[in-house]
Structure 1
């Protein structure tokens, strides 16, 4: 017969996710203090006195292991085992493996004594074995212990509901995460923090050294007392709320309070995210209008941006950052473009890194995230630092870009990189559309020339800058076809190989020996190829103007897709 103080399907706030059982009960040590157990003796397993009793059961059959449940106190007279006392050590092992709290035995009628092997096994496992007094009935034990458990659960429920009402009232009165952790820390008399999914501290209260320990991720040390509950809303993990104090400061009853606090914190986080999403879209839409020249006059733009904390009434530069390893999209288009969850998460991390870096170096900077790029408008001093390949010096934009790259690289989820383009200084808001186009061209040309992770200034692009300013791509394509002829296509591998030979020849200023060394050709083989190239293209070894045209055509091909 199994006795439990409540149905298995209890309130979610009172259930352990791992076992599905009620989390509140009485430690074995407290059960031994019940009046009906006066005279009971603990004969083994003292290390397990902290095990929690949540239900009671009476052993009536030898194969009781099939019927027991975790956190039970099992009572027996030994009748089912009267003929096989040698099986008692195995019984202890089986009960412990099934998570029982303790075994209480009444001797005299069916068992004269408990075997030493049984007691030794109980001590080894820390499984309490209790000898019951002869003058107490099982029904008295069941009634009193179950009543004590119910009273404990009722008290915990009452306290939890009181805390829940207090926390909800905080939110209804406009309070946020800080007010929630202040209240919980006061109730539990320990430190409490809320961490986001990136383990950044959103709010904290309590002793400074404990808050710092949780911030640094040391709250899970075995010698420290702590509880952690996920903050989940809408199926998304928003972080953790953690209570942390000296060993023994937190008990199982405090779990429910922390779960209620996590529920209320999830509501606050969800509300904050909804508000932030609306505000972010509003800011992004306005900056998109500024960058496209649709936002009105400079005075209106400056006044409107001041409400966002942006200072555009000064010389600024536009910066565009794009994730690498993704099919390109037109800048500022804004559509989601079928991005998956991982791509959206990476874009959000990129925006967060740029926002944090910009605030540190330029509090008046504007940073917004479009669908496939992050755009920042930061202070411009005319500096042109950087080599276009990622190593850069000087200028606020370069400093922000370096720190954003460092912050983005710290995230453990994936090894993504991003490329950055920086415009010329713009004297005011009216020049921002042109600056934005320059930054967008710089990021794409820089990636094409230097690979993923490039950081390029528009003025560093050299001839590519001039080519990128040609408004009609068809003219560039026609120039390539007219200049390179059959070498302009990619269909025939032999012609593609000849084009590569031409490129190296031009790079070495027609140094045949150096070109042969780079391409691993025999000198005579290269001479043969040069003759073939001149039959296709003309006497470029003698005509400097033709060499210039060929060089430009190859540069245009290198910019393909930009």
Structure 2
């Protein structure tokens, strides 16, 4: 950006003389105007040179003080007065006052036409703007090339920092450092030292617009940091931090930085969409695995799932991570969708650092995150509680977990998931659900511990007939539908949602069950008997 000193040092402006006294003339100049309007300060942009003949002040120059004050308040660059026409000389008291408030007064000779002078100043300034815009588009082309070559976030930020030659930091939506320029690798404090000085309110301001803050460097000296929201998503942006932006060299302008931020936004968006394509494959795989019991074709799940964090184990347990909505967000679908994606990405980053062999994925048409634990850990509840608290300290997100039971084979993962859904369902009536909710069995089987197993089997077969211990896939499917239909108090909609089936499918299957059993499953007597038989046959299978 050009300064008043730069302009006055040019030969073409050698006949312009600064009459007032100033320590320096480094104020920026961005434009120039010719005017005879006394209140012109209200209608000009910042850093403008005002050119005038001062015709309205002939005979009463002291009124110029008001104009000088207004120009200073609006950050004008200088006031140029053409002498010899309406004012022969500028009063020394006016020059003293201009020196006091630090607004340069420039004497324009009577031989200099104001129109020609305006043209010369604007041509000079426009050449500067053209150079800045040209450089900005060069930066955009350079970064667009990086985008096309799939460079990493770290490489992009390193290149950006090299160009603007000041420290920069890229933060995730949960405000962890993703990448930083080389300035933090040359000794001194890490990038997080500077980020940690920002408050929760500082980040909230940045989410709305570009914001500047004052922080301390490693020598406890106050420096400036400018923060930009990178809105790949609407509600949970990334953050770009630029330290000491006043040291960015010419001709890099704010426009050039905007171009770089635009390309960075596109790059982060592209990376996000690439990740989503992998997640869709992962979703399809786990959707099939969760319904493995009803599949008529045996599959080698461990081999198929090696690319999706599925491992061989003797302990499989499903949990559902879900967000507790506030009054403001409970009906805001877009917010909930973005919130679920942020939590999934955050858990993918944080949880594997504390828990071995955990697969993290989502299912279609839900914002919940599914966790498959494949290595027992007696401290897992504590770990998840700590993660929930850590996330809530950073973002306005309340994270909770619902657990199913533990199974020793891959085919039990689907049952563990249904139990996790039942545990989640049990929390919906709670105003403040616990951080961890485990599936609670009905306990009916405990009443029959001392009864002869043969008698138990006879009771189950007599009550459930072919649904007692089925091996045929269609009978297994009917039994599962009946079990969850009764567990959800014979509510078709809830059963359909849990099993990811259409309401008509549930109705059809329940009708099949009633024809097979020869009774209505919804009467109080038959419902209780069937639930007991289902529980006992599960336990004795």
Using structure 1 for the length normalisation, give the TM-score: 0.65
* Per-residue deviation, 1:464: 8.9
Contact 1:225-1:250 at 8 Å conserved across structures: no
1:439-458 alignment runs, 5 A limit: 439-445=420-426, 451-458=432-439
Unaligned 5+ segments in structure 2 are: 199-211, 216-221, 448-479, 491-527, 529-541
1:235-246 alignment runs, 5 A limit: 238-245=237-244
1:369 is aligned to 2:362:
yes
Aligned to 2:265: 266
Change (3 A) 1:83 1:185: same
* Per-residue deviation, 1:157: 2.4
Unaligned 5+ segments in structure 1 are: 1-24, 328-336, 384-393, 479-548, 550-562
* Per-residue deviation, 1:403: 3.2
Which whole-Å CA distance do the structure 1 matches of 2:27 and 2:337 have between them? 46
Aligned to 1:19: none
Name which of 70, 73, 82 aligns with 1:94. 70
* Per-residue deviation, 1:229: 4.3
Further displaced range: 215-224 or 347-356: 215-224
Aligned to 1:155: 131
1:123 is aligned to 2:100:
yes
Could you give the per-residue CA deviations for residues 392-444 of structure 1, whole angstroms, max 9, x where no partner exists? xx33x32442233123312343xx53442223322231221122223222333
1:78 is aligned to 2:54:
yes
Aligned to 2:324: 324
Which whole-Å CA distance do the structure 2 matches of 1:437 and 1:26 have between them? 68
Which whole-Å CA distance do the structure 1 matches of 2:444 and 2:143 have between them? 60
1:54 is aligned to 2:23:
no
Aligned to 2:466: none
Change (3 A) 1:92 1:410: same
1:25-424 alignment runs, 5 A limit: 25-38=1-14, 40-44=16-20, 46=22, 49-62=25-38, 64-65=40-41, 68-109=44-85, 110-114=87-91, 116=93, 119-120=96-97, 123-124=100-101, 126-132=102-108, 136-138=112-114, 141-208=117-184, 209=189, 211-212=191-192, 214-216=194-196, 220-221=213-214, 223-224=222-223, 226-232=225-231, 238-245=237-244, 247-250=246-249, 253-293=252-292, 300-324=300-324, 340-370=333-363, 371-381=366-376, 394-395=378-379, 397-413=380-396, 417-424=398-405
Contact 1:105-1:130 at 8 Å conserved across structures: yes
Contact 2:136-2:257 at 8 Å conserved across structures: no
SS of residue in 1 equivalent to 2:79: strand
Which whole-Å CA distance do the structure 1 matches of 2:181 and 2:161 have between them? 6
* Per-residue deviation, 1:245: 3.7
Aligned to 2:521: none
Which whole-Å CA distance do the structure 2 matches of 1:177 and 1:123 have between them? 50
Aligned to 2:409: 428
Contact 2:385-2:435 at 8 Å conserved across structures: no
1:471 is aligned to 2:483:
yes
Which whole-Å CA distance do the structure 2 matches of 1:353 and 1:36 have between them? 60
Aligned to 1:554: none
* Per-residue deviation, 1:189: 1.7
* Per-residue deviation, 1:131: 3.3
Change (3 A) 1:472 1:441: closer
SS of residue in 2 equivalent to 1:408: helix
Contact 1:356-1:404 at 8 Å conserved across structures: no
Change (3 A) 1:311 1:41: farther
Using structure 2 for the length normalisation, give the TM-score: 0.68
Which whole-Å CA distance do the structure 1 matches of 2:488 and 2:35 have between them? 90
